[in-house]
Amino acid sequence: MPAEPAEPLSPQEIEDRLAGLPGWSLDDGRLTRSYRLGSHFAATAMVVHVAQVQEELDHHSDLTLGYNTVSVAVHTHSAGGAVTAKDVELAHKIEDLAPGHGAH
């Protein structure tokens, strides 16, 4: 359980943080990115890895598994669906693990 609720980021703060997250964008009020992988099995393994990180962080995106794609969309339910620092933290953790799966 988080110690305190995450605060919504302002539009400017979101823009600033997106500058440090190439490939990510704000789409329909969520931080989003799609990755392409070498195979459906590689994409599936990445989804499992992301799920593990999300459990550790106690913060969960909507993860979509495609044929050889993984799409992530995240906002913070407890902040009324706003984008918060928690979403940015998760995005960075996903960026960190993506290269190990050959995702780009």
Ligand X SMILES: C[C@H](O)[C@H](O)[C@H]1CNC2=NC(N)=NC(=O)C2=N1
Residue 13's nearest CA partner among 91, 85, 89, 95 is: 85
> 80 is written with which tokens?
């009324």
The binder of ligand X chosen from 20, 29, 78, 100 (CB under 6 A): 78
Question: Which range binds ligand X by CB under 6 A, 19-27, 29-37, 55-63, 65-73?
Answer: 55-63
The binder of ligand X chosen from 30, 36, 49, 60 (CB under 6 A): 60
Position 64 contacts ligand X (CB under 6 A): no
The binder of ligand X chosen from 32, 59, 72, 91 (CB under 6 A): 59
Detail the DSSP E strand segments found in 1-104: 25-27, 30-36, 62-65, 69-74
The binder of ligand X chosen from 76, 83, 94, 98 (CB under 6 A): 76
User: For the purposes of burial, counting CB atoms within 10 Å of the CB of 89, is it exposed (0-12), middle (13-18) or buried (19 or more)?
Assistant: middle
Write out the residues near ligand X by the rule CB under 6 A.
1, 58-60, 74, 76-78
